[in-house]
A and B are shown apart, each in its own frame.
Chain A
Amino acid sequence: VSFLLFLPLLQEVASSPTSPWTDRERKILLSLSPLPPVPASPGNEVADDPVAAALGRALFFDPGLSGDDSMSCATCHDPDKGWGDGLARAKGRKELAFHTPSVVGAAFNRWQFWDGRKDSLWSQALEPIEHPDEMAGSRTGVLHHIRRTPPLLELWGATFGPFPDLTDPDRFPESACPAPVDPASPFEDLSGVSPDSRHRAWAEMKAGDQAVVDANYAKVGKAIGAFERLLVSGLSPFDHWVEGLEDDRESPVDGFGAIQWRGARLFIGKAGCLQCHFGPGFTDGQFHNVGMAVPAGADFDNGRPLGIQRVRVDRFNARGKHSARPGVRENPHLLYLAFDEHTYGAYKTPTLRNLGRTAPFGHDGRFATLMEVLDFYEDLPGLPPIGHREETLLPLELSTSEKEDLVAFLLSLTSEPIAKEFGHPSRKP
């Protein structure tokens, strides 16, 4: 194909909010629903194993994974709060810089965390367990806890086979983990000089024993990942409405009437949301600087650049030795990472599904309501403290009633809640 004819796009413009959908608008709306099956997780050999998911569920709700038995994954990913925490910023041992995203639908994410420093659900699960400001546990501590908890040990055996012998306390300390990787010097082992006793204990372990622990700690993440892959929204009012559109019998459904209809037209048109929020996940899964940048009170964080550096050196990334499929073909995302000035101050585009249960909003939770989010895009106040704002981001020019329509549409993307009993062996699906 050397020359392709220049074919100007004929954009059909609807004349009024009540006019029929154009062919192009209809195609866009159909592209937004329904959610497809969760994508494969090639690095996780037990991703779709129901027994692994049962183990993962048990681990997810188990405070024994934390350093002082006080916190579980569910402390911040509370099923009663949309599998988030309802706070502006996450709170572990202290308040953190970023908002806790819901784990519902996280299996669709190409990258995990706001800066994308993890490239799989299973490897994401491993970081908060050891983070000193979050669960403050350790990989040897988690494995010892499993070893001493018969129900977990039984599920482990059914999933992965015999549990390793970690009973020698001289070889496998009660609490040991490596110091966090320094992206600036990723090959320097800081464990021996860290003031954290967990890190010093790790530094004193033999390499072979560290490898055994790492291999089994990866399995902890894979089991949790298998459970989290099941946390997928059902149909929202918008999805039900699109079903009718698909069958050419468009009509209001419960939770999607005239106001949401008008909001949908704004969403796919004048408001420009589709630039980043497209597809059934309502996100491109990419990273953008919309001008909020570094969260107030945060340690230095430049957004995506640090995320890129961290994921490249992560021992649990998809190309590492703990990945079930470390090949290039399965993991192009690590091979072609671009690192340029546009990545500074950029954070991940969040999904817009289930916004009715995931307030506050923004990567640092600075917006209490969706109207506040729209007000931000209307004013675009100030300049980002790092990097530059997306060039196409222009002040949103919507009337108050249009913003109300848009908010109503966004809320129509909220599905029925996933109860905390979900996935429990005693509950029928």
Chain B
Amino acid sequence: VGLLLLGACSGNPGARILFPDGGPPLNDYFSIEVVVPGPEPDAVRVDADMPAHKHGMVSKPVLTPLGDGRWQVDGMMLHMPGDWEVWVEVDRGEDTRRTVFQVRLEPFSE
């Protein structure tokens, strides 16, 4: 299990991510649950980027609606150590809001 060292949230503070216990692993698949309170959105997208590297994940996650504003997201993989931004983007009409969670992964396990 990799190490989740920091997390922050910006944009739409309503969206939440439930990470696996111990944080996201390094370079392995994991699932998260996304919670988007409020009215049913038109669309929800989830992905992750490494801003310093200008690239994202090597996997393309798949979202499954669970109802009540919750989504199961499978196929996440943060393949490199360093600073990641895991984000949730929510469309409602013309409005698009992105919530960003900052994650730092170390190259070792705790």
A6 and B7 form a contact (CB under 8 A): yes
A334–B79 CA distance with the chains assembled, in angstroms: 16
A28–B26 CA distance with the chains assembled, in angstroms: 13
B interface residue count range (under 10 / 10 to 19 / 20 to 34 / 35 or more) = 35 or more
A392–B80 CA distance with the chains assembled, in angstroms: 12
A134–B19 CA distance with the chains assembled, in angstroms: 47
Is the C-beta of B82 less than 8 angstroms from some C-beta in chain A? yes
B56 and A338 form a contact (CB under 8 A): yes
Given contacts A7-B6, A391-B54, contact A336 B109 (CB under 8 A): no
Chain A residues whose CB sits within 8 angstroms of the CB of B62 once the complex forms: 335-336
Given contacts A1-B7, A8-B6, A336-B75, contact A287 B107 (CB under 8 A): no
A31 and B108 form a contact (CB under 8 A): yes
Q: For window 16-69 of chain B, which residues contact chain A by CB distance below 8 Å?
A: 16-19, 26-27, 29, 35, 52-62
Central interface residue in A3, A4, A333, A343, by most chain B CB within 10 Å: A4
User: Contacting chain B: which of A70-78, A277-285, A374-382, A412-420?
Assistant: A277-285
Chain A residues whose CB sits within 8 angstroms of the CB of B57 once the complex forms: 338
A1 and B17 form a contact (CB under 8 A): yes
A392 interface neighbour in B8, B53, B60, B61, Cβ under 8 Å: B53
Is the C-beta of A262 less than 8 angstroms from some C-beta in chain B? no
Interface of A is mostly: loop
B60 and A337 form a contact (CB under 8 A): yes
Chain B residues whose CB sits within 8 angstroms of the CB of A5 once the complex forms: 6-7
B5 and A9 form a contact (CB under 8 A): yes
Chain A residues whose CB sits within 8 angstroms of the CB of B53 once the complex forms: 390-392
Given contacts A31-B108, A338-B56, contact A275 B82 (CB under 8 A): yes
Q: Which residue of A lies closest to B16 (CB)?
A: A2
Q: For window 81-104 of chain B, which residues contact chain A by CB distance below 8 Å?
A: 81-82, 101-102, 104
A9 interface neighbour in B6, B9, B16, B107, Cβ under 8 Å: B6
A2 and B9 form a contact (CB under 8 A): yes
Is the C-beta of A247 less than 8 angstroms from some C-beta in chain B? no
B107 and A278 form a contact (CB under 8 A): yes
B107 interface neighbour in A274, A337, A390, Cβ under 8 Å: A274
Chain A residues whose CB sits within 8 angstroms of the CB of B61 once the complex forms: 336
Q: How far is the CB of B104 from chain A (nearest CB, A)?
A: 6
A335–B61 CA distance with the chains assembled, in angstroms: 9
A234–B23 CA distance with the chains assembled, in angstroms: 32
A6 and B6 form a contact (CB under 8 A): yes
A22–B46 CA distance with the chains assembled, in angstroms: 36
Query: What is the 8 Å Cβ interface bit string for chain A, positions 1-30, against chain B (1 contact, 0 not)?
Result: 111111111000000000000001001101
Central interface residue in B54, B59, B107, B110, by most chain A CB within 10 Å: B107
Q: How far is the CB of B29 from chain A (nearest CB, A)?
A: 5
A337–B58 CA distance with the chains assembled, in angstroms: 7
B5 interface neighbour in A7, A285, A335, Cβ under 8 Å: A7
Chain B residues whose CB sits within 8 angstroms of the CB of A7 once the complex forms: 5-6
Chain A residues whose CB sits within 8 angstroms of the CB of B7 once the complex forms: 1, 3-6
Is the C-beta of A342 less than 8 angstroms from some C-beta in chain B? yes
B108 and A30 form a contact (CB under 8 A): yes
Chain B residues whose CB sits within 8 angstroms of the CB of A337 once the complex forms: 59-60
Q: Which residue of A lies closest to B59 (CB)?
A: A336
- Give 13 CB contacts A-B under 8 Å: A1-B7, A1-B17, A1-B19, A3-B7, A4-B4, A5-B6, A7-B5, A28-B108, A278-B27, A286-B27, A286-B80, A332-B75, A390-B55
